[in-house]
């Protein structure tokens, strides 16, 4: 990992996440009405299913971030939710989610974020997640701890299931959701309560900040989890799949180490990562 300045990568990621967040806020403010009706009809396209929407703001924000990355670091690889996919030669790959929580954005609910992460030789090294409504920037680089608006944050020390507040999320396809709901049916009675905010990147940052105890979800994309995972991990959480590997589209679980073990055992017992 020599030759790459991780602080410089984090500075770039943070600046672009905030700039893109300001852009999507401007675009939202220019819409008619204050709720979802401003973003219906011709403004909305769909992706994997009719409820998986993409707005002009998703595309404009991704373009802003990609343009910024290309001008600062033209030889890096980039993968973005709205279609950016290019190879690089430096070992650095950027993972970009221009609006994580697009459904909330459409409905003018506050829980959406811009997520910009970078891996070096396949290892996550930098993450920046910006929540425009709260003007909150979460950031971390490998070995440097995690911050919220520049102040250090830590996950909770929760070590039992019964009083653990757990965030989760659901995919866009009906059979995936059915499996996730079946798992939840068994988890809810075992924990304090469940939260579904609607942005995986934010869920992971809330674990980092100790505002929920843990988070799990099946079926995330690499851009959903990249930045949030290193932020949670640098805040002291264990972050992984259910089989000893790194967080992945198969499964993402984040929690303080003792709670991680308890949740992993519970979820493995429910075959949570083996369902559709
Ligand atoms: C979605 C959000 C949501 C999670 C879904 C993701 P998007 O991302 O992170 O919380 O449950 O799995 O796909 O589509 O809003 O960028
Ligand atoms: Ca996303």
Whole-structure pTM over 0.85, yes or no?
A: yes
Residue range of the domain that includes 30 = 6-152
> Which residues make up the environment of ion ligand 2, defined by Cβ < 5 Å?
97, 100, 224
Name the residue with the closest Cα to ligand 1, atom 2: 199
pLDDT digits (tens, 9 = 90+) for 96-117: 999 999 999 988 899 999 999 9
Distance (angstroms) between ligand 2 centre and the Cα of 111 equals: 12
Q: What average pLDDT does the structure give for the chain? A: 93
Are 119 and 74 within one domain?
yes
Find residue 128's DSSP bridge partners: 116, 139
* 13 in any annotated domain: yes
- 5 falls in which pLDDT band (50, 70, 90)? very high
> With 60 as the cut, is the pLDDT of residue 33 above it?
no
Are 25 and 139 within one domain?
yes
Are 26 and 143 within one domain?
yes
Are 17 and 106 within one domain?
yes
CA dihedral 270, 174, 55, 29 (to 10 degrees): -70
Are 139 and 177 within one domain?
no
List the CATH number of the domain containing 128: 3.30.540.10
* 232 in any annotated domain: yes
Q: Would you say 226 and 115 are in contact if contact means Cβ atoms under 8 Å apart?
A: yes
Q: Is the CB–ligand 1 distance for residue 119 below 6 Å?
A: no
Can you read off the two tokens belonging to residue 214?
A: 């843990």
């Amino acid at each position: 990992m020599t030759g790459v300045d991780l602080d410089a990568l984090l500075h770039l990621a943070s600046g672009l996440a905030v700039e893109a967040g300001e852009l999507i806020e401007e675009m939202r403010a220019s819409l008619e009405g204050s709720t979802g009706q401003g973003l219906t009809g011709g403004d909305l396209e769909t992706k994997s299913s009719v409820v998986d929407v993409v707005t002009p703001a998703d595309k404009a924000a991704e373009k802003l971030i990609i343009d910024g990355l290309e001008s600062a670091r033209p030889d890096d690889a980039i993968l973005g939710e709205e279609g950016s996919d290019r190879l690089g030669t430096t070992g650095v790959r950027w993972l970009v989610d221009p609006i994580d929580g697009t459904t909330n954005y459409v409905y003018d609910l506050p829980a959406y974020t811009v997520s910009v992460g970078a891996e070096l030789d396949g290892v996550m090294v930098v993450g920046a997640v910006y929540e425009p409504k709260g003007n909150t920037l979460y950031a971390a680089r490998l070995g440097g701890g995690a911050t919220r608006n520049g102040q250090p944050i830590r996950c909770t020390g929760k070590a039992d299931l019964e009083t653990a507040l757990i965030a989760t999320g659901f995919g866009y396809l009906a059979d995936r959701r059915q499996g996730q709901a079946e798992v939840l049916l068994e988890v809810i009675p075992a924990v304090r309560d469940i939260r579904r905010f609607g942005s995986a990147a934010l869920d992971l940052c809330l674990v980092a900040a100790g505002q929920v105890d843990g988070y799990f979800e099946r079926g995330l994309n690499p851009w959903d989890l990249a930045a949030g995972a290193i932020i949670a991990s640098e805040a002291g959480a264990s972050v992984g799949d259910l089989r000893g590997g790194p967080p992945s589209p198969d499964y993402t679980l984040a929690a303080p180490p003792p709670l991680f073990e308890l949740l992993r055992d519970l979820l493995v017992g429910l075959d949570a990562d083996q369902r559709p």
